[in-house]
A and B are shown apart, each in its own frame.
Chain A
Amino acid sequence: MQAEGHLTSADLFRQYASFVAAFLVRMGIQRADLDDVMQEVFLVAHRLGGYTPGPAKPTTYLANIALRAATSHRRKGQVRSFVRANDELVGSAGSEVNDPERVADNKQRLELLDRCLERLDDDKRAVFVMAEIQGESVVSIAAGLGIPVDTAYSRLRAARKLFQEAAAELRAHGESEPPARWRRAET
């Protein structure tokens, strides 16, 4: 008999596939590999027996598995140019917007976002993505990742600093053309 609130891997897939996909993209998995990695994540969730309510939320429980999957793929060198990979995804996002300049700005911002995220190691990156982009609480992140809360906070603190430094550096050194709004703001 399953505990109340238990979710099978199929339940998890239906409810949280989008969350996991977004997390994996921000962790550097490109579109071409996304479904394979998604399958790995949910297969592992299945073998773990699905989700049973506890300190971790379903999102952070899945993120813990997804972090390991993403790390494995990065180590295998399966992550190629992650900025290029996002073009395809950005294209689908941009189709929702009619303003071409806004689409271009959004695309550039996502490229810069991903470059900044690449400066973080996987552990910090995971905490940062979950906290700053996906809006998870640090307590839930810590529970999901199986780390002490203060460690999660320490990682978030360090990640914020590194991210901000990376953004400032990329902007200052012109490694990538800033979005049009930045250029307008500077003139």
Chain B
Amino acid sequence: MAQHLHAFVLRLKALLLKRRMDRDMADELAFHQVMLREKLLRQGVAPAEVDMETRRRFGKASRWHERLRELWQFQRFENLLRDISFSVRVLRKSPGFTVVAILTLALGVGANTTVFSMINGLLLRPLPVPASNQLVVMGTQDSDPRINYSLSEPLFRGLERRRKVFTQVFAFNHSKMQVKGNNGTENVEGQIVSGGFFPALETPPLLGRTLALADDVKGGNPSGFGVVISEGFWQRWFNRAPNVIGQKLEIDNTLFTVVGVMPKRFIGADPLDHPELFVSMATEPAIHGTRNLTAAGFHAWWLTVMARMNPQATLEQANADVSANSNAILHEVIPDANWIAKREQRHFRFIAEAGSTGFTYIRLFFTKPLMAVFAMCGGILLLACLNLASLLMARGTARQKELATRLAMGATRRRLMQQLLVESFLIAVTGTAAGLAISPLVSQAISALLLGGQYEVHLDTSLDLRVFAFAALAAIGAALLVGLIPALRATSGTLSAQMKHGQHTTLAYERQAVLPRVMMALEVSLALMLVVGAGLLASSLVRLYKSGAGFDPHGVENIAFSMDQQPLKGDALMQFYRRMGEGLSHQPGVKDVSFAWIIPFAHMVWDEDFPAPDGKVHNIYQNSVAPAYFQTMRIPFFSGRDFRWGDSASTERKIILNETAAKLLVPDRNAIGQYITKKDGEKTTRYEVIGVVGDAKYEDLRSAAPPTAYVPMGQDDQETRSYNAVVRTDGAATPLVGAAHALGEQIERGIPMPEMTSMETIVRDSMSAERMMALLSVFFAVCALIVTAVGLYGTLAYATERRTSEIGIRMALGARRTQVAGMVFRQNAAVALAGTASGLVAALLASRALASFLYGTSTHDPWVFAGSIAALALIASAASLLPAVRAAGIEPMRAIRCE
């Protein structure tokens, strides 16, 4: 070992000081020659003979050097360099092949790396806090196997007191906060956190202090409400003033004191949410006012709960501990015995899961689509590798003479293999580099596509060590997959046979062609699977689009007003909305204006229980809307009348039902003028049905329209509510939000800047996962088709070229051109047929995995399957036709003579 090391060091020195090495060798030799010459002269030999003698003994100086230098070289390394430069020359000589190879691999590796970097950002990257492996996420579970990750405040407080296996239990919730500045009010992303949040995350503040348990006592810290701000907010709002600690901030009409600044790397415990303000949970009643969630007690499920375990504790212990204490905690914190009994009956229990990567709700929605896309990417990479392997193999056959010559000249099989593998590694490395270079751009595009504008999301897809390791692994795997089999094949076989037969080894050709054909068939079947998957997802998306929402989202803009923190109440607030509506309706391009509390697909549900005449209680979705809502949304009005601004708290309660609700609550009769009753515990409220409208979807596009009841906003139970203006426009609508703000300022000074979203965007975003999957799968399917076409064409073209003389002989013996074309064409037809058959079986089996993503589409949709097969057949035929036509064009005499 020591010997090898010694030699290594000396060789390294020789490599670095190459010129000095050469000079030394020359000097040593020259010295010896001089000494020898002097000796010979001393012995009395004639000078002419002396010259001859030295030349005889030393030979050519260059050969001498070569021998010595060889000793000092890293033989393997320098061989490798030689192989690389040789491979570069070879690849340069066939630029078409090289470009196709690099592009397909760039696509395969790039797509995989991109999706992996998203998976990394969403699922794998640990939170940037010390010892993140000690963190756990808590949830609740009952007879429904789905885990619920939202807890109520009393349940959290019950868990918080359990300190046996945990050092800290903490809770947080995202909250948009209104901060009053010099230029009006601004909406800022914030989090409401419990006292254990900062102690558990163990990240020291940049300035000041973090929030402590003392800040999270009922009524807040007696020294005042504290807020911790992010470095970004410090920069933006305070221009990095060093005296920021102690400054006042008015958040949601409540006065806070800045107590600390957190460094940039601190993002809290939700990896996708980068809050700028942190306030303690004890201040929630103050900032949320009368509608605060703390007061709602065990009815409000709003907190994400996490904990840090003792260093000695394991996840199993933590899970067992919270699970065992579930009932004790229920009895301790819930005042309602009925409620507890109901939960106990359903085996309610707490659970703890690994939480080193924090918790984000987006994971629940996007893990499965992301994994499906990842699988597609894997498929396309495999396809690219198979394709290159078969192309290389075809080239290997074409290069057999060259390889055989090199073998005959004394190259070992190992050296040849090394050279061929170097070639495929070069392709793989270049392809991976190209893929990595485009990956950040693509991942940005995909995450925009995936997450839409729905969430204020910061998915960090940056290329970290894990992503690079993945890319390297993918590249090495691809290179081996691409290069190994062709290299093994090309260097096997008897040397003399290859040398002798040269071009017209038809027998050898038939024998050797089995493996490439199998690989091409595999490629075809893989392509078919991808095309079928894309077809299913795309047709499902089209059906989803066509299914309609029950309203017309085109040209509808929503303007969200945040009024629940404002002093306007009751009738005054209604007046504000009414005047706002009138103002907006005079804006250019505006056709209709109305208001609604809940806009469709906003992930908000308000439901109430209504008993039908037969006594059965129905859960009816509700919404509170202004007059002309149905007209604005283009929801058809079947009978009765619309709401009026006059329908107010002082008049009789009115209600409008959609068709489904009318059928449930007032069966077999004209609903108009009938009375229905809402039951809320012991309290009942009577409504007069004044209209029936068409069904419209509520929660999302995938679920059918629920039975829905609309009440007029003038009869709202809430004193203050933030409504959304729904505005139908005939196109350009961007200045609306400014107009709304200006109008608001005229009516009432100091209202926060309203936010505008277009209904079309909301509808589109509600399908973001479906859309992303469909778009990507179609993209991959098209790529798969192109790659397969290139592969089918390439292998057949090579094979046909090698048969030129054979075909020439056939034609000379009387074969017709159509026969020759048919013969060549049939070769690929067999491959395509076999591939399609196996791909069909595989696709039928694999498409079941897509079932949960499909809307109104069977996983065995015959049209999709037929279309995919037709697409593949078309591509395969086109790819095979060219070589067949070329074969038919061979001139027999020229072909035979060229041997």
Partners in one complex: no
Residues of A within 8 A of B (CB): none
